[in-house]
Structure 1
Amino acid sequence: MIPRIRQLDEGAVNRIAAGEVVERPASAVKELVENALDAGARRIAIEIADGGRTLIRVTDDGHGIAAADLPLALSRHATSKIDGSDLLNIRSFGFRGEALPSLGAVGRLTITSRAAGSAEAASIHVSGGRIDPPRPAALRAGTVVELRDLFHATPARLKFLRSERAETMAVTDAIRRLAMAEPGVAVTLRDVSDGGERVLFRADAADRAARLAAVLGRDFPENALEIAAERAGVRLGGLAALPTYSRGTAVHQYLFVNGRPVRDRMLTGALRGAYMDVLSKDRHAVAALFLDCDPVLVDVNVHPAKTEVRFRDAGAVRGLIVSGLRHALAEAGHRASTTVAGAALGAMRPDGADPAPRVYQMDRPGPAARAAGYAAQMPGFAEAPSARIEPPVEARTDAPLGAARAQLHENWIVAQTATGMVLVDAHAAHERLVYEKLKRQAAGGGVRAQALLIPEVVEVGAEAVERLLALDTARLGLALEPFGPGCVAVRETPAVLGQCSAAALVRELLDELEENEDADPLALQARLDAVLSRMACHGSVRTGRRMTGPEMDALLREMEATPHSGQCNHGRPTYVELKLADIERLFGRT
């Protein structure tokens, strides 16, 4: 028999819709808090129990809902935020009118509200889609929405929820994003499981900078760059962290479009592309970026959860993010995050050791007195009482990275600054300097090459030969040509690399091409930059090479003048700076 088409009842329709809108407790919290924000609330309090399974309560001081409108608020596609005439000019968080009926279809929902100017409040209750009549209630102002026993009407959905801790973390993350979107609203999240009360998140009303510091930690603004760029009617603002302040996951990336928190692949891809030159593939940038434009330039009606958007000119938006961030990173020069020094100090302290007792000192002696003291400790001082003592010659230390004093283990450069000391990884620093020089040459017409007196033949295999010859290696300063079955002849290598092994260089290029075999063909420049990075790593100063004093000082000065030199091509710091006070604390001084 042919199946007959039938109309689903309202309860089934709401439960199906709830599957799209309410995926987990965090989704319900997000929808309710967005409603509170749309109501003009200045203070919002959220309470959850058991990760939001058994209780979600959102209290706000917004304009409230009139008693006569409460039943309508629980009807699908009923909303006060738009009139339906223009779905592209949306200026509120919510607009679909699906959240409240969806929550009422899968849980026990109670709404208590007092509209501004109204003499009394009213309450309405819905459970599993069954709506009770409104009744009078006691409430001073605003709205209280209480959702109990989420998914009790669809118990199969409960099996897909994660642990209480994981769901609580998801709720907290949703609140953090909304708190960053609306810094002028005070937000509090409490866990009231088992009759207790634990504050999970709290943020008082503040400006954007203070709110970002409160949500992401005070280290973030200190180690972030202010972003300000505009293109084609789209403005980009916010903060993006230095590469050395990166994380192992992308959970600390916050993106907002017209104040709405979004999780959009195009935007996260643009963020990743902006940092591709300064971070390794297993590290992720920390950023809070705000895109603002005319609402007609972006479509937020893509998914019921409203976390995805579509821009009218996606290419321009992507270019704005990439260029804006890269410009800010280049302006940062050799700057590295302050947390690098903190990590270094932590590594120097013995585990579990008690703080050293405070040592009180006299004022530090002057240079002449210090020189006399040092000379007095030299062997033979007593036999030469008339020895002439002169103060040591002070090198220039007022430069940002100071003056080179020594090289340790044929790699680490110790430099003295006006306020402390700097420890430089010579290999990592030179790798970045060579890479930046290669990029400048490639952008200016091609990397300068040096001809080999005798071409070097490298056996790589027939497939690898095709892959190499398909790449414009001449632009990279590497002249290759086929030389018999499965072999290539290297006739020129990049001049900036000096004397290098052509065979090792070719094999490293092949490794890079194989790792990026499935890369987007439009990202050719990114692939070429990755190849240049490999070449720079191959040709940089190797650990084990002793450098002269002028060479070390020249490296420090070039770092100060080169963008991105605070981190190597893989995102690791190239230097650690320790202030004199930090060094003294290591030795118990004050």
Structure 2
Amino acid sequence: MPVIHRLSDLLVNQIAAGEVVERPASVLKEVLENAIDAGSRAIEVQLEQGGVRRIRVADDGCGIGRDDLALALERHATSKIATLDDLEHVGTMGFRGEALAAIAAVARTSITSRASGASHAWRIDGSDGSLAPAALNHGTVVDVADLYYNTPARRKFLKTEGTEYAHCDDMFRRVALARPDIGLQLSHNGRVVHRLPPGAPAARVAALMGDDFLQHAREVSAEGGLLRLTGFASLPAYSRASRDAQFFFVNGRFVRDKLLTHAVREAYTDILHGSRHPAYVLFLELDPAGVDVNVHPAKIEVRFRESRAVHQFVYHALKRVLAESGAGRIDAQPAAPPATPGSGFGIAANTTRYPSAGTGMEADSPPSHAGTRAWPAAAPQQGRLAMDSASRAYLDFAASARLPAADAPSPPLPDGDGAPPLGFALAQLHGVYILAQNRAGLILVDMHAAHERILYEKLKTVLDGRPSIQRLLIPAVFSVGAKDMAAAEECGEILASMGFDVGAAGPQELAVRSVPALLANAPVAEMMRNLLEELREFPASEVVTARRNELLATMACHGAVRANRQLTIPEMNALLRDMEATDRADQCNHGRPTWTQLTMQDLDRFFMRGQ
């Protein structure tokens, strides 16, 4: 029978290397983290052939003394922890003391270091452990060459030079994003790729993620108890097809944690299409005792002691930031000179300031003196729509929103704090876009996308209470198949809770007798067919809970104003005011932007004014 025996130290280290040293990027990670733990303020990385031929990391940290160099290459030898209490309060990047030993077992490794106050540096050869004096001003240089030279089977699993370099570059970016206070430089095959001076977090993010990301991102800053979340999260318009621009750090350590990923994804649920992925650089700080970093050999996974609290904190912090309207952050610019009658493009007369639409307007009762169609109803904050108050609000609005005479002089655009962020409507372009003037310049609004978001948010609020019902004077009758008939019967209570009164009108016909008041003008038959299709596909209980918002999004899409519908100036202004008062109004339910700003500087630059 086989005899139990001890494994040699070299074989033990090579086995450990299989867990710790997956590829050159794994080596770079471990060495960079040691440099950070040494208190370095400047780190230089040199790679050859994607890191397979050589990885050289030089830092200006505290250095390693002569007597400690030999211990640095032994397994489970470390200066970072000494007791179980230290392990439960890890404040350093590394702590196990096995990485250098594993690296030295599968690559030609040397460490040259000069400890603070030492007369000169010392160099240790990882292959035989020999020590020799060396020349070095300060800090430490770790040189790792010919990865897997002695384990050719492992080397065969490495990819091309370009692929391995890409992994090293990604690892370098993670460290650089985590520590903007440290100067870092990366060279590959003699060419400098990144030269990053120490500076502010925003500058480091812009250097590595691009100015475009920073321009399309919201700054995150939230605190709750012992938790703190900072960083940048992209708007949906900057979403990506892959997760390659997602960086989450816990106490400065890059992690891929399912709980955190889920919290972020949930925060984007209402504003990002399911097949797209957000981009973000986020930093979560908490008491080291509240997170266990000793659950994965590469320390890329963590376990939170209060996982639910962490999840909710991250989710709500991000959701609040993403819900803010970008209109409130438009840089204040001097207002453009008021247009004089008969000059310019002939639209100055439409810059009159109109009052806000207020709480609600019923789309089926336009006053005779207005001569225009009303904007669909808006739900009051308490989540209930009172028909009498909504009607009064509409009449008040319509009475005060008469168009000025064609030859009447137009008052100047209000300046100062009284001017609304999205300004006032000027015109409608091809029945699709609204053009508005604000203090900064020109606003372009996708009216369908904007109205879809407004309706969606109001539907969510209304459904939380008792939805207001709009009885149809003539029921909407349409033909359906047997499956839709069955779905309407089985899900009658669910539809009723949303404000729909649906019943059979014949063997293959359904009649809709009432709809939610917010959707009074929606195409009833088309909307109901889509709702029944979703109700057929998913169990009723699941639709009411997890899929409720998707159902409401479908309703909002059908209820939103369609392209080529001509809006009056009062209707356009009512939409602008609703956008300013609606959470997440910068994007529609599918993640598309609803508006954009062209400043006077942008327009002057385009027309080369002043050049």
Per the normalisation by structure 1, the TM-score is 0.83
Check the 8 A contact 1:108/1:147 in 2, yes or no: yes
Matches for 1:347-426 after TM superposition, within 5 Å: 371=342, 392-394=409-411, 396=413, 398-426=419-447
Identity %: 47
Partners of 1:252 and 1:373 lie apart in 2 by 45
- 1:465 alignment partner in structure 2: 487
Query: Could you tell me which of 511, 526, 539 is aligned with 1:504?
Result: 526
**Alignment gaps of 5+ in structure 2:** 347-405
Aligned mates of 1:373, 1:42 — CA distance in 2: 58
2:171 match: 174
Question: Which residue of structure 1 aligns with residue 125 of structure 2?
Answer: 125
DSSP-derived class of the 1:93 partner = coil
Root mean square deviation of aligned Cα: 3.3
Matched, 1:564 2:564: no
Gap change, CA 1:372 and 1:448, over 3 Å in 2: closer
Shift of the alpha carbon at 1:493?
A: 2.5
**Quick one: which of 284, 290, 302 aligns to 1:291?**
284
Mapped partners of 1:543, 1:572: distance in 2: 16
| Partner secondary structure for residue 306 of structure 1 | coil
**Where does residue 75 of structure 1 map in the other structure?**
74
Indicate conservation of the 8 Å contact 2:487/2:532, yes or no: no
Q: How many residues align structurally?
A: 540
Matches within 5 A, 1:118-197: 118-126=118-126, 130-191=127-188, 193=189, 197=190
Matching of residues 80-479 of structure 1 within 5 Å: 80-86=79-85, 87-126=87-126, 130-191=127-188, 193=189, 197-332=190-325, 334=327, 371=342, 392-394=409-411, 396=413, 398-443=419-464, 445-452=465-472, 453-454=474-475, 456=477, 458-459=480-481, 461=483, 465=487, 469=491, 472-479=494-501
Measure how far apart 1:306 and its partner are: 0.4
* One-letter amino acid of the structure 1 residue matched with residue 151 of structure 2: T
- One-letter code aligned to 1:239: F
2:547 is paired with a residue of what secondary structure? helix
Q: Distance in 1 between matches of 2:93 and 2:509?
A: 61
> Against the structure 1 CA distance between its residues 505 and 462, is the aligned structure 2 distance closer, same or farther, given a 3 Å change threshold?
closer
Looking at structure 2, the residues matched to 231 and 72 of structure 1 have their Cα atoms a distance apart, in angstroms, of 42
Question: Do 1:465 and 1:488's aligned partners in 2 also have CA atoms closer than 8 Å?
Answer: no
Contact in 1 for aligned 2:13/2:105 (Cα 8 Å) = yes
The CA deviation at 1:475 is: 3.5
Amino acid at match of 1:496: L
1:583 aligns with 2:603: yes
1:235, distance to aligned residue in structure 2 (A) = 1.8
Q: 1:304 to 1:482 in 2, by over 3 A?
A: farther
Q: 1:544 aligns with which of 564, 589, 592?
A: 564
2:15 aligns with 16
AA of the residue aligned to 2:226 = G
Cα deviation, residue 272, structure 1: 1.0
Q: 1:469 touches 1:481 (CA, 8 Å); kept in 2?
A: no
Structure-2 separation of matches of 1:482 and 1:12: 76
Corresponding residue SS for 1:65: coil
* 134 and 396 in structure 1: CA distance in 2 versus 1, 3 angstrom threshold: same
Which secondary structure does the structure 2 equivalent of 1:321 belong to? Answer: helix
Deviations 1:245-294 (A, max 9, x none): 33332222221111111111211111111011111112222222111111
For the Cα contact (< 8 Å) 1:567–1:574, is it kept in 2? yes
Secondary structure of the structure 2 residue equivalent to 1:284: coil
For residue 109 of structure 1, what is the amino acid of its counterpart? Answer: T
Segment of structure 1 superposing worse, 100-109 or 84-93: 84-93
Aligned CA distance change for structure 1 residues 248 and 374 (closer, same or farther; 3 Å): closer
User: Secondary structure in 2 aligned to 1:32?
Assistant: helix
Whether the 8 Å contact between 1:301 and 1:309 is mirrored in structure 2 is yes
1:117–1:483: structure 2 CA closer, same or farther, 3 Å change rule?
A: farther
Q: Which residue of 2 aligns with 1:361?
A: none
Q: Deviations over 1:291-338 (max 9, x none)?
A: 111111110001010011110111111111111111122233546999
Partner of 2:398: none
Secondary structure class of the residue paired with 2:283: strand
Query: Conserved in 2, the CA contact under 8 Å of 1:67 and 1:122?
Result: yes
Q: Match for residue 549 of structure 2?
A: 529
DSSP-derived class of the 1:461 partner: helix
What secondary structure, in the 3-state scheme, does the structure 2 residue paired with 1:118 have?
Answer: coil
User: Which amino acid in 2 is paired with 1:331?
Assistant: E
- 1:55-94 superposed Cα distances (whole Å, 9 cap, x missing partner): 1000011111121222221111111100142321111000
Change (3 A) 1:390 1:465: closer
Displacement of 1:582 in angstroms is 2.3
Match of 2:459, SS state, is helix
Confirm or deny: 8 A CA contact 1:395 1:403 kept in the other structure: no
Distance (whole Å) between structure 2 residues aligned to residue 486 and residue 307 of structure 1: 58
CA distance, structure 2, for counterparts of residue 488 and residue 299 of structure 1: 58
Contact residue 523 and residue 559 of structure 2 kept, 8 A: no
Inter-CA distance 234–111: structure 2 relative to 1 (3 Å threshold): same
Give the TM-score taking structure 2 as reference length: 0.80
Q: Check 1:188–1:8 CA distance in 2 against 1; reply closer, same or farther (3 A cut).
A: same
* AA matched with 2:33: E
Is the CA contact 1:460–1:488 (under 8 Å) kept in the aligned structure 2?
no
Q: Deviations over 1:425-459 (max 9, x none)?
A: 1111111111111111123x143333455375643
The match for 2:387 is none
State the shift of 1:501 in Å: 3.8
Provide Cα deviations, 1:473-502, integer angstroms capped at 9, x if missing partner.
444333557899999765542221113344
Alpha-carbon displacement from aligned partner over 1:206-237 (angstroms, at most 9, x marks no partner) = 23333333333344444433323233522222
Aligned residue for 2:81, secondary structure, equals coil
CA shift, 1:239, in A, is 2.3
Which moves more between the two structures, 422-431 or 28-37? 422-431
Cα shift at 1:31: 0.7
TM-aligned CA deviation for residue 555 of structure 1 = 1.0
Helix, strand or coil at the partner of 1:131: coil
1: CA distance between counterparts of 2:117 and 2:345?
83
Amino acid at match of 2:43: I
- The answer on whether the counterparts of 1:334 and 1:564 sit within 8 Å (CA) in structure 2 is no
Deviations 1:475-532 (A, max 9, x none): 43335578999997655422211133444224433565688x69997x9755211211
- Give secondary structure in 1 for the equivalent of 2:455: helix
Distance 1:175 1:567 in 2: 33
Q: Secondary structure at the match of 2:195?
A: strand
Give SS of 1:547's match. Answer: coil
- Any idea what SS the aligned residue of 2:515 has? strand
Pairing 1:61–2:60 present:
yes
Contact 1:244–1:336 under 8 Å retained in 2: no
Which residue of structure 2 lines up, in the alignment, with residue 357 of structure 1?
Answer: none
Three-state SS of the structure 2 residue aligned to 1:212 is: helix
Q: Write the distance in 2 (CA, Å) between the matches of 1:77 and 1:325.
A: 40
Cα distance change on mapping 1:167 and 1:490 into 2, 3 Å? farther
Q: Provide the rounded CA distance (Å) in 2 between the counterparts of 1:163 and 1:520.
A: 50
Check conservation: 2:43, 2:183, Cα contact below 8 A: yes
